[in-house]
């Protein structure tokens, strides 16, 4: 059986036209390509990427065009890179919903990471539940995408979320960009992780990912609810009153997360797993200023 790819080739080609949008200048230790700033002036070849309107036509590789009938840019080592860290919540509460939150979180993380890889930025993946698990050494360049995607798909789902456990790995980051993907549900507070991101001089975004059944529940009758992380059970009767109370609580949770993120200089977006991935990336993440 052929494994389903994390991201389709057509989507990857379209992601190459995007770039991470930084608010302040980031100085990297390794050369990279900041499409939004300037191209490298060295003679060290690094990679190819597809031509998009507005690119410097002098960088087009005409030999490649003659062979492939496609406009490709030759990328050279540039003056700076943007370190990107992606933190992906794979706790027990993420293994729920249709489409499944954990599956969509992996795909969303892969899409954001690929935008950075296509620009020769350095990408580090960390998944977390009860304890953070590093995705290994940083990845760099489009050729590293397959390994990064495979690694993302290999992590198991489960455990109880504890955002405080992210403080140590966040503290090890150089100034750059971080993206936190989580449902933001449960008793744990995000503030320890958000404060750590601010101390580490990270900009970026908190992406709250919810299932359609959480955003607009269709409840009826009596039920026994079981917490996906703690295992705690509770008897429940669905009524218009309980539904309204739930929706108010969910809205307050999202609003509190957004306010906490904004206080720390981070963008915020609430996403539904029912939203097509490309729409998340091309519309929502561009609207909040994470991508351009």
Strand partners, 126: 87, 134
CATH hierarchy code of domain 84-287: 3.40.50.410
Q: Where are the domains of the chain?
A: 39-77, 84-287
How is residue 55 annotated by DSSP?
A: S
pTM recorded for the entire structure: 0.82
Read off the pLDDT of each residue in 125-138 and give the average, rounded to a whole number: 85
Q: Residue 3 — very low, low, confident or very high, per pLDDT cuts 50/70/90? A: low
**Does pLDDT of 90 surpass 90?**
yes
- At 44 the pLDDT is 59
| Secondary-structure breakdown of the chain: helix, strand, coil percentages, each rounded to the nearest 5 | 35, 25, 40
The H helix count followed by the E strand count for the chain is: 10, 11
Mean pLDDT of 29-38: 43
The CA-CA-CA angle for residues 173, 175, 179, to 5°, reads 70
Lowest mean pLDDT among 68-77, 181-190, 239-248: 68-77
Rounded distance between C-alpha atoms, residue 207 and residue 47, angstroms: 30
**Are 201 and 175 within 8 A, CB to CB?**
yes
Q: Coil, strand or helix: which one is 198?
A: helix
Angle at Cα 108 formed by Cα 249 and Cα 146, nearest 5°?
A: 155
Q: Return the pLDDT at 250.
A: 96
More confident residue, 151 or 41: 151
26 pLDDT tier (thresholds 50, 70, 90): low
* β-strand partners of 267: 205
The b/e string for 68-97 (b: 16+ C-beta within 10 A; e otherwise) is eeebbbbbbbbbbbbbbbbbbbbbbbbbbb
- What would the pLDDT profile of 111-129 be if each residue is shown by its tens digit? 999 999 999 899 999 999 8
pLDDT score for 80: 62
Q: What is the mean pLDDT of residues 58-66?
A: 84
């Amino acid at each position: 059986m052929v494994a389903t790819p994390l991201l389709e080739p057509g989507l990857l080609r379209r992601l190459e036209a995007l770039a991470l949008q930084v608010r302040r200048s980031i100085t990297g230790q390794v050369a990279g390509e900041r499409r939004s700033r300037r191209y490298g002036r060295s003679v060290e070849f690094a990679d190819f990427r597809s031509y998009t309107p507005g690119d410097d036509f002098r960088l087009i590789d005409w030999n490649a065009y003659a062979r492939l009938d496609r406009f490709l840019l030759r990328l050279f080592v540039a003056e700076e890179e943007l370190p990107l860290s992606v933190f992906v919540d794979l706790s027990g509460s993420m293994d729920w919903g249709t489409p499944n939150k954990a599956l969509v979180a992996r795909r969303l993380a892969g899409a954001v990471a690929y935008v950075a890889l296509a620009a020769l930025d350095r990408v580090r993946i960390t998944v977390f539940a009860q304890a953070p698990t590093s995705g290994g050494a940083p990845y760099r360049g489009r050729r590293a995408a397959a390994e990064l995607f495979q690694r993302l798909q290999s992590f198991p789902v489960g455990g109880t979320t504890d955002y405080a456990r992210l403080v140590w790995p966040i503290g090890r980051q150089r100034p750059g960009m971080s993206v936190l993907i989580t449902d933001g549900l449960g008793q744990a507070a995000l503030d320890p992780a958000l404060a750590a991101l601010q101390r580490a001089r990270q900009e970026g975004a908190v992406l709250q990912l919810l299932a359609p059944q959480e955003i607009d529940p269709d409840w009826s009758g009596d039920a026994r609810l079981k917490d996906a992380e703690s295992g705690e059970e509770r008897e429940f009767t669905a009524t218009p009153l309980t539904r309204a109370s739930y929706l108010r609580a969910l809205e307050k949770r999202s609003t509190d997360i957004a306010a906490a993120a904004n206080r720390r200089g981070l963008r915020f977006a609430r996403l539904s797993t029912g939203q097509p991935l490309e729409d998340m990336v091309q519309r929502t993440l561009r609207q909040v200023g994470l991508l351009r």
